[in-house]
Amino acid sequence: MTLLAWWKRLERATRPVHPVTERVLLERWTALPPGVRTDQQVLGRHAVGCEGTHGVFPKCNLTCSPCYHSKDANKVRVDGAHTVTQVGAQMRLLEQERGPRAHAQLIGGEVSLLDPEDHAAALAVMRRHGREPMSMSHGDFDSGYLRALALDEDGAPRFRRLSFAAHFDSLMRGRAGIPRPRTEVELNPFRARFVEMFRDLRRDHGVRSYLAHNMTVTPGNLDQIEHVVADVSGMGYSMLSFQPAARVGDERRWTGGDYRTVGIDDVWKRLEAGLGQRVAWQALQFGDPRCNRSAFGVRVDGRWMPMFDPDSEADLVARDRALAHFGGVNFGGTPPPLLAVKVGRVLVRHPGDLRVALAWLRRLLARSGGVRRVWSSWRRGGVTPMTYVVHNFMDAEDVAPAWQLMQDGQIATDPSVRATQERLSACTYAMAHPETGQLVPACVQHSVLDPGENEQLRELLPLFVI
């Protein structure tokens, strides 16, 4: 290899933003509805959005009310070979259409119904396609399953890190040890035990973890959010996510009143009451604010601090420079030495960013109590990243007509249907269909496509093979 060829290869490898990432971010930004192309918008500037699997293991072993699964979901056999094959095909399309790096959820029914070897194989496939996988679970499995997933047959770690989202709420039925919880507080020991399994895994085998806590919200448990936030924030989860119930799935599971009465503001008010403070989210936005609200920050000795304070003009300047100059840089999946070179190349072009970043860090430390307090808290394990999220999914009866018009290339004249189209166009959560080459929003997948898909899977993967 000539010196010139070597130099060109080095330049490509250390380029701050992958050329495909640069292209797909621009495409994502251009495709967003004008109303969400704001200064705080992250889609198209830092991320293309999250991704998820579908049709890979729809079966679940809990019975919840409400339930988002179609009536045929539990009539489909869990089949590891099918799961791994389908995950591979979906990830290939996502990599092709959305670039070499993204966060993707291994989701369907209950992921722990997969054999640990098949579960591990699916995660490995996702990683091979540049995805950072997160397994979605009800958390009702034991440490034996977790270790069989995390370790190979020789007891060596398969992965440096595992990410799980565990769904706990009092609407779920059939959990071992508490089959019919009456209140959210009763589930706290199970929430804590889930975290403890991963702490033990890291202590014994060095496998790190990222854990998110999910909870469906209805009028029946809305007033309990305050207790959940107060109790769970310090357990060891890095994200608390709440989802007001959307009327999707098996109608037989939808009983007990009007679920539309719970919205993002209702949940956020209880969240802030649980923490006893304001939780500022306005500095950053993923997609449409009618769908998502996310507050990124850090907890220091139990008090939460925003990454960017929306009331600080200097913080907003720092945010704008970060998104403009570092938005497409792959921080999570790049080896530290290479990442340092990439960041260095950005700073060579924008040397003023270093001064802005240091000033932002000083403000964050000051809000957190000062350097001495943060250092002392960090040494005691009292400094932890924490993100609070509300995802407001849409009802099937709203999504279906809006999606049909979009497929026909039509913009709805009815304001409510047009609003649904806008939300779908700004969706942060995509699912891939290799058979058509299409990427669809998650609300479309669950509202429109899942019922027919699960009918077909029931024939392909019957519960009983004669």
Residue 395 CB contacts under 8 Å (≥ 6 apart), including other chains? 246, 247, 248, 260, 447
Specify the pLDDT at position 17: 93
Specify the pLDDT at position 250: 76
Percent over 90 (pLDDT), the chain: 89
**For the chain, which residues score pLDDT lower than 50?**
none
Specify the pLDDT at position 466: 59
CA 203 to mean position of chain CA atoms: 26
Return phi, psi of residue 296, to 5°.
Answer: -100, 130
Specify the pLDDT at position 66: 81
Instruction: Supply the pTM of this predicted model.
Output: 0.95
Strand order of the β-sheet with 102-106 is 303-306, 292-300, 383-391, 239-244, 208-217, 161-167, 131-137, 102-106, 50-52, 429-433, 438-441
pLDDT tens across 64-104, in order? 888 888 888 999 999 999 999 999 999 999 999 999 999 99
Which fold does the domain 3-313+385-458 belong to in CATH?
Answer: TIM Barrel (3.20.20)
CB-CB contact of 42 with 293 (8 Å): no
CB-CB contact of 269 with 242 (8 Å): no
Specify the pLDDT at position 428: 95
Question: Domain limits of the chain?
Answer: 3-313+385-458, 314-377
Specify the pLDDT at position 171: 92
Closest-CA residue to 329 (of 350, 315, 309): 350
- Residue bearing tokens 């802005």: 356
